[in-house]
Amino acid sequence: MKILITGGAGFMGSNMIHYLLRTREDVEIVNFDNLTYAGNLTSLSDIQDDPRYTFVKGSIADADAVDKVVQGMDLIINYAAETHVDRSILEPKAFIDTNIQGVYNLLEAVRKHEIPRMVHISTDEVYGAVMEGESSEEDKFEPRSPYSASKAAGDHLCHSYAVTYGTPVIITHSCNFYGPYQFPEKLIPLFTMNLLEGKTVPVYGDGQQIREWIFTEDHCRAIEAIAEKGRLGETYNIGTGYRVPNMDVTRKLLELTGRGEDAIEYVKDRPGHDRRYAINSTKLRTECGWEPLTSFEEGLAKTVDWYKTNTDWVDGCRTGAYKEYYDKQYKDR
């Protein structure tokens, strides 16, 4: 099976590539990534010489590049996206280019070259704040940031192509994922590295914003199950049911890094900050037979241990050293 992973040098894409190469012999993977600030090829240095793996530099916002790279694929998994809410507030255009125009380019290429299946990775944030209950796949979208609005637009494009053209696309809405190789800007990797380095951690507002969490390998397993068993044209929520306030996550990280509450710095809440997310994943569990296997406590401990032992990787992210790695390892190939 030939699989195109867009955004494969990013957090979730690199984890999916590792997972597939580790668990399956019957795959050939092409990693298509534009190597923006969050794309890091050192995350894949251990498998760069695997004959089943190929890297192609390019952006899904480039229609010509997409048209070339999708040809002959059996499956496309679209992880490529701009994802950080704070960055979307400061610079929304990049989110429009990648999360909307890029998705359009992929859908057109899938339709033109008759690719059998595409799985589009999206977020629970498209549903907006859910103060009570859970979001189901049928609920209306209420995005509240440029990031979630751009993802919602991409999702609507996917749905419209499935209905209008019969394009074989499946949409997924996931809760927050965490684990190794995540660029240190989101809550868990940023707070982990700050605490390990003796710095403070910035907690928005009162820290009582509630999020649902999934460990990276459980998410990889969910995408694999959806790619194999999911119904074309459908949407699947990916969630664990484990929901806690950001302050609880912060205190767990304090404990795992041996820091005290004096390391917490309360900062002004960001504009439009959703108070609670919660999604119902019954459809995924029933139709695809998936269940999460890693508890939050176990996954968080694994994540902190990884960052403790991979400080060079984090330093490379912060200094841009991964760009030098690309020049040395790939540019002349």
The residues annotated with a catalytic role in the active site are: 124-125, 147
> How far lies 45's CA from each of 53, 187, 271, 325, in Å?
11, 25, 38, 9
CA–CA dist 211, 275 (Å, integer): 8
CA–CA dist 71, 140 (Å, integer): 34
Burial (CB count <10 Å: 0-12, 13-18, 19+), residue 61: buried
> How far lies 42's CA from each of 21, 87, 314, in Å?
16, 23, 10
Measured at the alpha carbon of residue 55, what is the angle toward residues 51 and 58, in degrees to the nearest 5? Answer: 160
Measured at the alpha carbon of residue 179, what is the angle toward residues 195 and 282, in degrees to the nearest 5? Answer: 130
Query: What letter represents residue 315's amino acid?
Result: D
Burial (CB count <10 Å: 0-12, 13-18, 19+), residue 204: middle
* Cα dihedral sign, 238-243-246-252: negative
For 290, the 3-state DSSP assignment is coil
